[in-house]
Chains A and B, each alone.
Chain A
Amino acid sequence: MGRTAVGSRTAEAIGRLETALLTLGLLLLTGFNEPTSATVPERAGSEPGGIEIRFETPEGRPDLVTVVVIGLEPADSTVDLRPPSEGDRLDPRIWRDILRVVAVEPDFGAVPSDFPSLLGSYSWARDETGAQLRFRPKFPPTPGIELRVTLDQTAWRGLSPDESGADFTARWTVPDLTRAPTTRVEGVFPSGTQGETVVVPSNLLRLYVHFSAPMSAHAVLPHIELLDDSGTAVPVAFVGIPGGLWDPERVRLTLLVHPGRVKRGVGPNQAMGPVLEEGRRYRLRIASQALDADGLPLVEAFEHEMLVGPPDLQPPDPQQWQLDLPKDPQDALRIRLLEPADRALLERLPWIEGPDSRPVSVDSSASVDGLSLTLKPHQDWAPGRHVLVIPPELEDPSGNRPGRRFEEAGQDARGPGEEIRVVFEIRF
């Protein structure tokens, strides 16, 4: 799990995205006085408005897929596109421009606008969730083929492009069930010591799921459940980010525990209570149906057990971290924390300023428990005064930042805070 301190721009961008999303979520939630209604759990592409694109497949026959759009009321459209009655076939020559389904081979680039759509039939159906627009391919798509679905808001709503908003898209790859799955969940963090159930704070904000190989760009959250000690799935446990929140290699998935339910006193917390209740046991379950980048399911489902302890209200205090200084110019600098930090942020954020006041290039590796950080220099350490710089975005797994508790975040106008500088001297 090494990371080069020089880092990739993408990794940094993802990090910023994580932070930005969290901040945005908090700002929005802080504004709510009334309990908010529960949002629909994320499926293969969903938006807060409730429109959702699903790929329905019978058990064992993913090639017999039906593309289903829910949350799309015929009354939303100002164009008279409605069929005479439910179940009627819709004219594909009209509907293929409204719900465009394109089948492409893996790694196909941008689809030209004059590219043919997948042949199939369109129909309306209705169930307890409301109207459904359904598309059934005429021929079962070949395993490995990617379906790219676009709901053209302009065509659907009959409004001008300015008024209709962005098109709504989803992707899905037909898995090849004749090939044996090879991808597994390697672990979920925070994790405990081998063989022991991890104790997590009740205000835990992030969980990380590590996969053994890159995962599909399609939605993974429908395949992840948080089960309480009675085996009941906890509703709205995680923030529904379309496509999921991934690292650039798509092997690490970040699950954001719904911050509105973690933060006390805001709408969702008051309405639904916290996601994790102190003293109870939970299991995070990743079903084998989650697809890897080849469109194959996982080798097996994975379960991660957690015992919930008291909330962590203590901000990280880097000044208390213990630095195990290098004794040799090629030695790593080892840092031990008193309480766990968010592992991904710990690995990414802290950096070293050298005696020349310039960054020292290091490989950064955090332990799975988030309790230690190892910084290995690319070149020999130069003796002299160094500074361990901890940016203000560093958080513990409960979202507390140096000098500021999660509970306080978003409620003051202090900005992102200041970086922490820990000065140390290297001598040989």
Chain B
Amino acid sequence: MATAAQEPKAPLKRSRRETRNDGGSALSTYGLLAPMLIVLGLFFLAPLYYILLFSIALRRFSPTEALAALNGELNGFTTELWSKLVGVDVIVKLPGIDLTVPTMVVALIFIVLLLLAVSGGRISKDRGGWIVGIAFLLLLAPFLTLPAGNNLLRIMSLSSEGDSLRLFFKSVSMAMTSSVIAVIIAIPVAYFLAFCVGKSKYTWMLIVIAPFLTSYLLRVFAWKVILGDQGLINSGLMAVGLVDEAAPLTFLIYSQFTVIVVLTYAWVPFICLPIFLSFETIDRRLLEAAMDLGATRWQAFRKISLPIIAPGIVAAFLFVFIPSIGEYITPTLVGGTQGTMYGQSLASQFVGGAFNWQYGSVMALFLLGVVLLLTFATSRFLRSGAGGNL
């Protein structure tokens, strides 16, 4: 005779009381989310809504006609402003011919490549990493200069009227450089924290993020002291006779190089965290098994750790890349004439004396569009499982 314990259990039906409890639980969950939603609504969506409307001239920001006139508000649609920003040509230098392509065509190719990479299909799984790489290369192409014999070859460039777009590409290039360097520096640091320091890892973590205890501005100014003509590096090189006192290394300060160095420095501690967390998720037994089977440490890292931490690396890259494209403070303080970035030009439309809020909104929306596209592509890319192909 089958005992009660052995009888198959019927699926539990939810009582009305339980359903109510679930509802209450859902409500309390939303309650927990409420502060975040309010903050998001007030400080992100509302400004975004206004920028969106303003960028297509559907409403006025300025409370009076006089202020609207001062701020350069248009009465019609902002097609001419959009055209000013993106309506320029890309000149591709092919052997024997200069091919002129509208920017929109290049943008379309970029978007298609990205969508291919994130589609989750076979191409995406097999070649996702490559496609993403090519897409980003396309984004950087106007600023890539390749060695060609004794000369340097600029393979793509923008037509002369594209100042804002050129600045955007330049910012992408600088942001990408600092992001890649920051990730390369952060990976071994995170590895060290996860595998080499045992119980004291959180103490070490505090040490790594110690720079955040100081104001960002102070840290940037400290770099001016380090990189200046009479700064720590130049003085050191002069002391050992590697640099002539009359000819210090001037590229160290007020240049693109400086901006990249400072951005990298600023973000490395921050992105150690997601990479460290990725390392933490690795089952140590997998690494031990790999070693037992004869893998070197590098092979174990390459074949096991890297695919597992790939999402963390991509997330870390985006953590640096997205805010860096629109950077304002760092290039203003240490950028000089050559380190100007898109964020400075954007800000100047509103508060720098350009008196052109609508163009500023157009620039902001364009930046937001690119960032959203990259974020969407990255999240789909990771979800598609293609991260392992990096």
A binds B: no
Interface of B with A (CB < 8 Å)? Answer: none
Interface of A with B (CB < 8 Å)? Answer: none
